[in-house]
Structure 1
Amino acid sequence: MSMRAVLVRSAGVGIALALGAAVVPAHAAQPVVVAVDGTLCDLTKTLAAGAASVTCLIPPGGDPHSYRLKPSDRSKIAKSDLVLHIGFGLTPSAKKLKSPGTVVAVGEVALPSYGGSDPHVWHDPANSAAMVQVISSSLTPVLPASDRAALQQRTARAVAVLQALQSWEAKQFSSLPSSQRVLVTDHRTYSHLADRFGVVEIAMLDSHTTGGVLRPSSLKTITQEVKSSGAKTIFSPAATPSKTLRRISKSTGLPIATTPLYGEGIAAGRNAVSTATLNVCTIVNGQGGSCDTAGANALNSQWSSIR
């Protein structure tokens, strides 16, 4: 720096001091965290709060199974301090992640003994609570020391809300007669929820078709199983049900729920908890029960208040 530049800079500081203005030192950039999956990203944003810059790759409504990394994604990952994804093959493109920071398959770390084939592990709130602990442990070394105590407080609050969510979901499903605790969908997405709460999951296309092709023999088998299952509603993963689901609905005489289930991540405008409560209310109401919306709203407020 030249002598003239030094004098100009010194003069500027002197003027600022004379005017009573504070001289603000430059701050280090926030840690950069990339979370691939939608639900995982909401968990991460909730824990990080304002202590890290968190980028979500898959938007609400996106399909993690077919997601392909864009150049902008690769650019974000190349600058990241931490990259998080569920693991268990949910997002095949996650195998290609290359980051200067740490890459963590959060679901696999949280559930090391799980050997099943359903990667949608967050539909069991107990699994989500375990993932919160893994996310928190992963964030700790990349956050400034001054932010770590607050991170631990947010972690404790998040786990408490997810434990309350588990209790709330258990009450919703237990309000149904056991014969009506049935979830009829197209593909196996909710096995973790079903196992936790004693719900029978019927994934029609996974169980009775090859490559999702619905042949007459498959339709007959599906119709017989669904009719004898105690199901009152067929649940769709999309607001506009597929032609296949409409055929099954006509064959079984069962309606398709007007509200879709959000199996692959969070719903637009919602977070991890409010999406979970929406899904459970959709199932319980569709199966002839009455969901506790006041309790759901209270849980959503508790989650949103974590800062």
Structure 2
Amino acid sequence: MIEPRRACPIRPAGTGALVALALVLAAGCRAPQPPAAEADAPQVVAADGVLCDLTTTLAGSAASVSCLLEPGDDPHSFALTPSDREELEGADHVFINGLTLTPQLESLRDRDNVTWTAEAPGIKPVSLKDIGHADHHDDHDDEAHAGDDHTGHDHDGHAHGDQDPHVWHNPTNTAVMAGVISARLQLLAPDDTAGLDARLQQAQVVLSDLDAWAEQAFSTLPSGSRTLATSHRAFASLADRYDLQDLAVIGAHGSGDLLRPADLANLAEELRSQGVTILFPEQTPPGKALQTIASRTGLPLSDTALLADGTAPGSSLVATFVSNVCTIAEGLGGNCDRPAGDALIERWQAIRTER
């Protein structure tokens, strides 16, 4: 049972419909009051990333799940409101991604009723120190910056620690997170263990099949076309899982670096030397800096933005992953089996609806 502050029903969506949904803000709506018989269910808060969809799918009617962030919200710039703090205080348990995905929630580190799902044993976060980026401002000291003409920033708020917190872009990590969440839910609702375990098993089968589906899609890429060039380092886990080269075009630290004309003059050769054939935006419309890079280098921008920080409004984590994989695979010259992807989306939705 999901009971978010402004809960909108998640409906099954094919990959075509997902793109349109990602361009529209979720309409505000209020969840109906739960029946009295359900009011005694454990109160759980799923904080960020894909945790709202994952926890709700696994919980069924065993827990009342409230989602701190709406689909499409930016976890990096999220700020707690007084009502958010009240909601967290009243929760029996809180699930947070961790790895500094949502800096505002780091203050909850000393709480006993919080599970940091992306930091659990078995999760394989990727070190950002090992990820490439286009060094378009090396050898410039601070004084050289003064008075220069600069291209505008892309401010997406992607500032992380040493590890990529977006671990769910690797379905094997998501499966581990599912196990961690389900185990905690079973402690909170021991009378519902059978149903919780059944939903977990179904979810992990879908996630395993999703991983195999993505592997097949990326196996169709032409030789030499495996560089995933995005604005920031949000897809390191996906790139690591499927043997892609992850390249952060705008900057190594994610919040958007100043782009100087001198840098742009050298950027085209650098990107092409690393096998970049297309740039993938993470927002619609693409940020000004990425648009400028595309214009100056002659590299095309993907028509479809990747969804980095959670799920698309009105969608699920599986539908969002399918959309991202198809966008990347097709953008790099390969293909994806969209009907098979849609079938996985429907199977995931069925877990939620069967309760």
Share of identical aligned residues, percent? 43
Matches within 5 A, 1:65-84: 65-84=76-95
Is the 1:227–1:252 Cα contact (8 Å) retained in structure 2? no
1:124 is aligned to 2:135: no
SS of aligned partner of 2:314: coil
Match of 1:172 among 217, 221, 228: 217
Aligned to 2:257: 212
Q: CA separation in 1, counterparts of 2:188 and 2:254?
A: 46
Is the 1:208–1:218 Cα contact (8 Å) retained in structure 2? no
Q: CA separation in 1, counterparts of 2:254 and 2:83?
A: 38
1:222 is aligned to 2:233: no
Aligned to 1:90: 101
Deviation at 1:225, TM superposition (A): 2.3
Deviation at 1:302, TM superposition (A): 0.7
Q: CA separation in 2, counterparts of 1:94 and 1:250?
A: 38
SS of aligned partner of 1:206: coil
Matches within 5 A, 1:94-243: 94-97=105-108, 102-111=113-122, 114=125, 116=127, 117-143=163-189, 145-207=190-252, 212-243=257-288
Is the 1:110–1:134 Cα contact (8 Å) retained in structure 2? no
Deviation at 1:38, TM superposition (A): 3.5
User: Which structure has the greater CA radius of gyration?
Assistant: 1
Aligned residues: 282
Q: CA separation in 2, counterparts of 1:193 and 1:279?
A: 10
Q: CA separation in 2, counterparts of 1:299 and 1:161?
A: 7
Q: CA separation in 1, counterparts of 2:186 and 2:235?
A: 31
* TM, length-normalised to structure 2: 0.75
RMSD, aligned CA: 2.2
Deviation at 1:285, TM superposition (A): 1.3
In structure 2, relative to structure 1, the CA distance for the partners of 1:149 and 1:58 (3 Å cut) is same
Deviation at 1:218, TM superposition (A): 3.1
Q: CA separation in 1, counterparts of 2:39 and 2:77?
A: 36
1:46 is aligned to 2:57: yes
Aligned to 2:341: 296
Q: By percentage of residues, which structure has more helix? A: 1
Is the 1:79–1:99 Cα contact (8 Å) retained in structure 2? no
Aligned to 1:273: 318
Q: CA separation in 2, counterparts of 1:297 and 1:209?
A: 32
SS of aligned partner of 1:270: coil
Q: Deviations over 1:102-151 (max 9, x none)?
A: 101011014467472211111011110111111111111111x3211110
1:61 is aligned to 2:83: no
Q: CA separation in 1, counterparts of 2:119 and 2:112?
A: 18
Match of 1:250 among 295, 307, 310: 295
What is the one-letter code of the residue matched to 1:139?
A: L
In structure 2, relative to structure 1, the CA distance for the partners of 1:79 and 1:256 (3 Å cut) is same
Deviation at 1:210, TM superposition (A): 8.8
SS of aligned partner of 1:183: strand
SS of aligned partner of 2:229: strand
Deviation at 1:70, TM superposition (A): 1.2
Q: Deviations over 1:160-199 (max 9, x none)?
A: 1100000000000011123112211110111111111011
Is the 1:183–1:201 Cα contact (8 Å) retained in structure 2? yes
Aligned to 1:263: 308
* TM, length-normalised to structure 1: 0.86
In structure 2, relative to structure 1, the CA distance for the partners of 1:253 and 1:100 (3 Å cut) is closer
What is the one-letter code of the residue matched to 1:121?
A: V
Of the structure 1 ranges 112-121 and 57-66, higher mean CA displacement relative to structure 2 is found in 112-121
Aligned to 2:25: none
Deviation at 1:301, TM superposition (A): 0.7
Q: CA separation in 1, counterparts of 2:37 and 2:170?
A: 44
Deviation at 1:231, TM superposition (A): 2.8
Q: CA separation in 2, counterparts of 1:256 and 1:211?
A: 17
Aligned to 1:10: none
Q: CA separation in 2, counterparts of 1:142 and 1:91?
A: 25
Unmatched 5+ residue regions in structure 2?
Answer: 1-35, 128-162
Q: CA separation in 1, counterparts of 2:339 and 2:106?
A: 41
Unmatched 5+ residue regions in structure 1?
Answer: 1-24
